Structure 1
Amino acid sequence: MSGLEGADSSSGFSLDKEFLNSLKGRILLAELVLCFVIFICFAASISSYLAAPLLELIITLIFLILFSSHYHLRLTTLNWPCTDFLRCVSAAVIFLVVSIVAAARSSGDGGAVTAALFGFIVVGVFSYDAFTIYKTEITERAAESGDGAADA
């Protein structure tokens, strides 16, 4: 048995509750909840904007499951910090554009205005997540490898 298996090997799948209580776990849960709220608000008002929150909801759920089950440690072919960073940056850009358009085209519709408001909030959460990934994972790995980027 390897150390990567869950505590309950009979189920074959378990989530790490310590990860869910960590900063990264809480950020992923906040992103997941906010994407769901935005999806519901768009479903109630402007159904043409449903694709963005639904796609980000699914992608964030996949990353939450991968990280909390430590399955990403078995998939070593991907650079997970870089992949997670790109997920956060692309989600922030997508939600920023969708929120601006939804706020501009809402014409007093409460659901669209609420979705735009939560969209701006989730842009901040995704941006904070990207910043923490960049600061903790990418710059520390570059400093450890000694690539000389800090010498310039």
Structure 2
Amino acid sequence: MGDIEAPDSSRPRPGVLLSVLPSKEFATSRKGMLLIAEVGLSFISFVCFAASAAASFVTVPLVEFLAAIFMLFAYSTKFNERFKGFAWPLMDFMRCVTASIIYFIISIMAVSKYPDGSSKAAGIFGFIATIVFALDFYLIFNELAAFLKQGGEANEEPSGPRDDFSDSDSD
């Protein structure tokens, strides 16, 4: 009858795990699927590198796994909208560019230099991760370019085309 200690049985309480997972809307979006793929591939690459003779490369998948988990959490909980001081799209773009370059390099080294099967598997998953990270930075780049193009057109004066001081250089 209104006891504070008595749980309300009419609605189920979400578990702690469900409160941490991204929402269904975000998980089914393009960005959500890319981030989930990046997390999964980074984790699989981490496990493969840890079990291989190329264990010295284990740091890259671990760092990228943690960075992708953070970005997944930030975008799914709208953490990025609360902190406007950071350039979130630029940070995400730089994360994806560096990840794709470094994954490509260590995957080539793992496949060509180490003969064991787990190194080869780590290299293959690294190549797949390279493609996913490259696709993500391509899409982010297109969104940033469209945003800057739209912002540049909105800031120009409607008085006509500018001459960019080409006449003053010829004097």
Count of residues in correspondence between the two structures? 136
Task: Quote how far apart the aligned CAs of 1:16 are.
Answer: 3.0
Instruction: Tell me how far apart the structure 1 counterparts of residues 141 and 56 of structure 2 sit (CA, whole Å).
Output: 33
Matched, 1:89 2:97: yes
Task: Quote how far apart the aligned CAs of 1:100 are.
Answer: 1.1
Cα RMSD (Å) of the superposition? Answer: 1.7
TM-score where L is the length of structure 1: 0.84
Paired residue type of 1:115: A
Matched, 1:63 2:71: yes
Matched, 1:139 2:145: yes
User: Which residue of structure 2 aligns with residue 78 of structure 1?
Assistant: 86
Query: Are the aligned partners of 1:17 and 1:68 in contact in 2 as well (CA < 8 Å)?
Result: no
User: Which residue of structure 1 aligns with residue 55 of structure 2?
Assistant: 47
Instruction: Tell me how far apart the structure 2 counterparts of residues 17 and 75 of structure 1 sit (CA, whole Å).
Output: 23
User: Which residue of structure 1 aligns with residue 41 of structure 2?
Assistant: 34
Paired residue type of 1:44: A
Paired residue type of 1:101: M
Instruction: Tell me how far apart the structure 2 counterparts of residues 41 and 146 of structure 1 sit (CA, whole Å).
Output: 46
Which structure 2 segments of 5+ residues have no match? 1-12, 157-171
Query: Are the aligned partners of 1:35 and 1:122 in contact in 2 as well (CA < 8 Å)?
Result: yes
Paired residue type of 2:44: V
User: Which residue of structure 2 aligns with residue 112 of structure 1?
Assistant: 119
Larger Rg: 2
- Give the 3-state SS of the residue equivalent to 2:84 in structure 1: coil
Task: Quote how far apart the aligned CAs of 1:40 are.
Answer: 0.8
